Amino acid sequence: MKLSFMTPILTFMVIAGVMFYALFYLDPKEIPSELLDKKAPSFALPAVPGYGDDLSSENLKEGKITLLNVFASWCVACLAEHPTLMELSRQGKIDIYGLNYKDKPEAAAKWLKRNGSPYKRTGMDLKGRVGIDFGVYGVPETFIMGPDGTILDKIIGPITEKDLKTRILPRLTGDAG
């Protein structure tokens, strides 16, 4: 067969296909979490003044699925997911804990006063050390915590409608407690 002239064309098409996939379907900003299916690192943090009780790693192992949401008053994208969290909190299906990342206590309190607080507990990670233990590299990030304090999933960036439907809600229906 004299089809060898097709070789460069086929090679090009394969490369183009791979690149097309990488360009539109892969997001280099989404770094898979190393901590998936591992226990949450232990920590204990004081609450944002006036907003819920203090937060420690013990609170993440109380036998139910919880959300650990990393937020900050300086984080613009956090506003985008805030209504979603407020709605989740209103429905009362899941406890949401707020990890206030590298923020000032007053600024965080002011932000929560203005936007409302979906958090049952909050913890101020003033220096970002707990964040680093959790592998946080941007805000917002949301960890879905298993009943025993295992990290089940991590949502990077604002929680979208799709994240809510495909990653958070399905876990709740399976979990009667």
Partner 1 sequence: MSFRLKRAKSLPIYATLLLFTIGFAGFANAVFVEERLADPVSEERARNISEGIRCLVCQNQSIMDSNAGLAKDLRGIVRERVLAGDSDDQVRQFLVSRYGDWVLLNPPFKMQTLVLWLAPFVVLIFGGFLMIRFLRRKSADQIGKPPSEPLSTAEMAELDKLIAEDDSKRGQP
- CA gap 44, 105 in Å, rounded: 16
Closest to 143 (Cα-Cα) out of 89, 88, 84, 68? 68
10 contributes a contact to partner 1 by CB under 8 A: no
28 contributes a contact to partner 1 by CB under 8 A: yes
126 contributes a contact to partner 1 by CB under 8 A: no
> What's the min distance (Å) between Cβ of 51 and partner 1?
23
Closest to 159 (Cα-Cα) out of 91, 56, 79? 79
> What's the min distance (Å) between Cβ of 141 and partner 1?
11
12 contributes a contact to partner 1 by CB under 8 A: no
For residues 128 and 147, which CB has a smaller minimum distance to partner 1 in the complex? 128
- CA gap 44, 97 in Å, rounded: 13
- CA gap 104, 14 in Å, rounded: 51
For residues 57 and 89, which CB has a smaller minimum distance to partner 1 in the complex? 57
> What's the min distance (Å) between Cβ of 138 and partner 1?
6
Contact status, residue 61 vs residue 92, Cβ threshold 8 Å: no
- CA gap 128, 124 in Å, rounded: 9
4 contributes a contact to partner 1 by CB under 8 A: no
Stretch that binds partner 1, among 49-57, 115-123, 124-132, 142-150 (CB under 8 A): 124-132
For residues 30 and 148, which CB has a smaller minimum distance to partner 1 in the complex? 30
Site string for partner 1, 99-118 (x = CB under 8 A): ---x----------------
Question: What is the number of other CB atoms lying within 10 angstroms of the CB of residue 169?
Answer: 14
